[in-house]
C-alpha cells in the first residue's frame, strides 16, 4: 500500500482501501468498525473497518479480538 501522498501531507483527508477477499464474496461475513481521534475540532479522526468470514469466528476468539457481536 502506497502511503507516500499521506506521509507527505497528513493534514488532508486520506482514504486507503484494499480489495475484498474472494472468501468474503461467497460466505457470510462479520464486520468491525472502530474510530480513534478527537474529531474535526481537536484533531484528526481515523476510522478502521475489518471483515471476517463468520466461519472463522472462532479464530477471532482465539486471537482474543474484543467486541464480537453479531446482528
What's the average model confidence in pLDDT over 41-69?
A: 79
pLDDT for 26 equals 92
pLDDT for 28 equals 92
Q: What does the pLDDT look like over 6-19, one tens digit per residue?
A: 778 777 777 777 88
pLDDT > 60? residue 54: yes
What's the average model confidence in pLDDT over 62-71?
A: 67
Rounded-to-integer distance, Cα 52 and Cα 31, Å = 7
pLDDT for 67 equals 61
Domain positions in the chain are: 3-63
pLDDT > 70? residue 40: no
Amino acid at each position: 500500500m502506497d502511503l507516500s501522498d499521506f506521509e507527505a501531507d497528513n493534514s488532508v483527508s486520506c482514504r486507503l482501501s484494499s480489495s475484498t477477499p474472494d472468501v468474503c464474496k461467497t460466505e457470510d461475513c462479520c464486520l468491525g468498525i472502530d474510530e480513534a481521534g478527537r474529531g474535526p475540532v481537536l484533531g484528526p479522526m481515523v476510522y478502521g473497518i475489518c471483515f471476517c468470514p463468520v466461519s472463522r469466528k472462532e479464530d477471532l476468539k482465539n486471537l482474543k479480538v474484543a467486541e464480537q457481536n453479531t446482528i
